[in-house]
Structure 1
Amino acid sequence: MTTFPNDFLDNFATSLLGSKPSYENPRHRDILNAFTVVQDLEQRLLTVLTAPPQPDMGGAEHWEACTDLLIERLVAGRELSLLLSTPCLSAAEEAAADAVWETFGIDTDEQCCQEPAEPAACLLDACSNVFAELGDPHAVASADLVDALRHLPGTAGNHWRYSDLTQARLAQLLAPHGMQTRDITLPDGRRRKSYSREALLIAIGVCTSC
């Protein structure tokens, strides 16, 4: 049963009209969630920009917070654009597409398992080590990943050292590798903005379908 916009009213309408219950398309839910995140970040950014600086926060810290929020908003907007522009194929359509490739003698599984053209970035290796230290869970919260990476020496990417990482900066560094946060329920029961292990493996170049 769909949970948007109102579960109770939807159930009532279905019973009243005697119609079949409607079910969510997970991809549509992802788009809706991404749009909600963009709206929330824009509101937070507007609030920070228009609010007077806090007494315990210097001007540099205030603008750094604004910059981090702006970067996070740009990353969220990019994620929403990708979701809106990516075609959604049904299982039958995907099978038909695979059949077309087979007519040209292309083995999609063989291509998938080839070694990556370039070595994985150091940041991806560092993220992989964090996952391994935590027992390779299916996902790690963005905040937890940042906390673990901050203890590392050296530069994470661009001009940021690992010790200076924030969630927004990590999102900017991982976005070019196709890694985006999702609302994921973690093994400890928390539901947080998290990075999935599958997305990390794909970014490194490891085949996850074999």
Structure 2
Amino acid sequence: MTTFPNLLDTFTTTLLGTKPLEENPHHRALLNVFTEVQNLEQRLLTAITAPPEAGTGAAEQLEACTDLLLERLAAGYELSLLLSTGCCCAEDVADDEPCVPCGLEQGEECCQEPEVPGNLLEACLGVFAQLGDPYAVASADLVDALRDLPGIAGKNWRYSDLTQARLAELLAPHGMRTRDITLPDGRRRKSYQRDAFLTAMGVCTGC
């Protein structure tokens, strides 16, 4: 996806002598999730129509399609939430109007630069600890546990408002992605590995 500002945008700004425009985080989130929805739909279509790979049975193909479908539904729900959420600090909002963005109550901090707080990683590791420190936890299970926590997870999203897509977006800057992992209970799910959180926090996992 084209980044903003890119080379051509920067050249235009320099040529016209205008002030560089600051990207709106809410609009960027909309574009990112919309692109994710399109990519997942294309992957799902390919998985449904492509002939099975050698050594792959119908059950494995169905499971892969189901996983993609669940990811597509989660991303679609995330896009709906973003489309229905007002944009914080729009230029046409009067200065005397209270700024209440993204589900925050009036009086709470808003209009801050989007940031993934370090305690999100600690909160995720806390869930692992509650579950006995397994090597991996399903994304859906991790989100369900995090929703019980108070406060803001990141990007003005409360822990109680987290979805799998939102958690993935918050953890992406740390280089973290879900993987298809067979869990101790036999389920094969999109999951996060405990070592990945430790590594993101600078903890040596090989010591």
CA contact (8 A) 1:71 1:172 kept: no
CA contact (8 A) 2:124 2:146 kept: no
Distance 2:57 2:81 in 1: 37
Residue aligned with 2:88, SS: coil
Q: Relative contact order (C-alpha < 8 Å, sep 6+): which is higher?
A: 1
Asked if residue 17 in structure 1 is aligned to residue 16 in structure 2, the reply is: yes
CA contact (8 A) 1:75 1:171 kept: no
How far 1:89 sits from its partner (Å)? 2.8
Asked if residue 59 in structure 1 is aligned to residue 58 in structure 2, the reply is: yes
Structure 2 match to 1:178:
161
Matched ranges for 1:64-103 at <5 A: 64-90=63-89, 96-97=97-98
Residue aligned with 2:136, SS: helix
Structure 1 match to 2:127:
129
Structure (1 or 2) with the larger CA radius of gyration: 1
How far 1:148 sits from its partner (Å)? 1.9
Q: Which amino acid aligns with 1:41?
A: L
Matched ranges for 1:154-193 at <5 A: 165=138, 167=139, 170=141, 177-179=160-162, 180=166, 181-182=168-169, 184-186=172-174, 190=175, 192=177
Structure 2 match to 1:155:
none
Q: Which amino acid aligns with 2:98?
A: A
Residue aligned with 1:57, SS: coil
Provide runs of 4+ in structure 1 moved above 6 Å.
91-95, 106-109
Deviation string 1:1-42 (CA, Å, 9 cap, x unpaired) is x943x6111111111111111110111111110011101101
**Structure 2 portions without partners, runs of 5+:** 109-122, 148-159, 179-190, 193-207
Q: CA RMSD in A?
A: 4.2
**Structure 1 portions without partners, runs of 5+:** 100-105, 110-124, 134-144, 150-164, 196-210
Residue aligned with 2:98, SS: helix
Aligned residue pairs total: 141
Deviation string 1:125-149 (CA, Å, 9 cap, x unpaired) is 986332799xxxxxxxxxxx99522
146 and 38 in structure 1: CA distance in 2 versus 1, 3 angstrom threshold = farther
Q: TM-score, normalised by structure 2?
A: 0.54
Greater share of helix: 1
67 and 192 in structure 1: CA distance in 2 versus 1, 3 angstrom threshold = closer
Structure 2 match to 1:148:
136
How far 1:170 sits from its partner (Å)? 5.0
CA contact (8 A) 1:185 1:192 kept: no
How far 1:65 sits from its partner (Å)? 0.6
Identity among equivalent pairs (%): 45
CA contact (8 A) 1:146 1:170 kept: no
Q: TM-score, normalised by structure 1?
A: 0.53
Structure 2 match to 1:156:
none
57 and 50 in structure 1: CA distance in 2 versus 1, 3 angstrom threshold = same
12 and 69 in structure 1: CA distance in 2 versus 1, 3 angstrom threshold = same
